[in-house]
């Protein structure tokens, strides 16, 4: 048995195992979605994502293109920490999160809503063409769907909140609204998701845009 010790070799072998396992299960990924789906499986070791990740038409290409000189706003600092800054810097892209902002916290308390909801409102106001990545708060995804219905046009919605309350409903609403409005979206349908999944999707898009899908390109 070959022993893998170098990070790049470990990642390559992991991706090879993912590809073999998908083939064994009879799953053939659309080429446009493969990098995102495999990155999420690599992060979670959960092959359900091969079936539950939903992509609007051309979402990966448009999302990757938006990272060139763009902005990514996450709904948690955990997701922000998981985004590969070097890949984004290569693209001239910034990553932000407003969850720890004092004004966001104050407004959320005053209105009796989540900080994630207020942070997404701020993201839309300050960066209307940003990639918005929601991995934790379905309230934020629902608010984002309302904003899109009212005319907001983010570059991409990554909607992968995790949990049991309003989670599946928020994703179904986001799918309907984004599809109807022509806003690109990548959504994890069902209850699964989380900040690590949001970061994984951001990274897959960044690696695609920056030509860094091979881990050797990130050394």
Rounded Cα gap, residues 201 and 80, in angstroms:
12
pLDDT value of residue 216: 86
pLDDT value of residue 4: 65
Domains in the chain, start-ordered, CATH in brackets? Answer: 50-213 (3.40.50.10230)
Beta carbons of 75 and 87 less than 8 angstroms apart: no
Q: Which of 33, 42, 68, 127 is catalytic?
A: 42
pLDDT value of residue 218: 83
Q: Active site includes 68? A: no
Task: Give the mean pLDDT per block of 10 residues along the chain (219 residues).
Answer: 76 95 96 97 98 97 98 96 96 96 93 90 95 95 95 98 96 98 98 98 98 88
| CA-based nearest residue to 73, from 101, 52, 53, 44 | 101
The H or E element spanning position 156 is strand 156-159
Beta carbons of 215 and 8 less than 8 angstroms apart: yes
pLDDT value of residue 114: 87
């Amino acid at each position: 048995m070959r022993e893998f010790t170098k990070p790049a070799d470990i990642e390559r072998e992991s991706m090879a195992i993912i590809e073999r396992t998908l083939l064994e299960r009879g799953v053939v990924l659309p080429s446009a979605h493969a990098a995102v789906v495999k990155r999420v499986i690599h992060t979670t070791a959960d092959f359900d994502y091969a079936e539950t990740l939903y992509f609007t038409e051309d979402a990966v290409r448009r999302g990757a293109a938006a990272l060139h000189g763009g902005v990514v706003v996450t709904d948690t600092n955990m997701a922000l920490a998981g985004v590969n800054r070097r890949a984004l810097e290569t693209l001239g892209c910034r990553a932000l999160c407003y969850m720890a902002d004092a004004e966001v916290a104050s407004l959320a308390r005053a209105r009796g809503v989540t900080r994630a909801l207020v942070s997404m409102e701020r993201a839309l106001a300050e960066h209307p063409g940003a990639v918005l990545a929601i991995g934790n708060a379905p309230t934020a995804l629902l608010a984002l769907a309302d904003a899109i219905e009212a005319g907001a046009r983010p570059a991409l919605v990554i909607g992968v909140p995790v949990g049991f309350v309003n989670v599946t409903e928020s994703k179904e609403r986001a799918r309907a609204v984004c599809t109807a409005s022509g806003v690109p979206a990548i959504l994890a349908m069902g209850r699964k998701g989380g900040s690590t999944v949001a970061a994984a999707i951001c990274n897959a898009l960044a690696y695609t845009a920056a030509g860094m899908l091979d881990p050797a390109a990130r050394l």
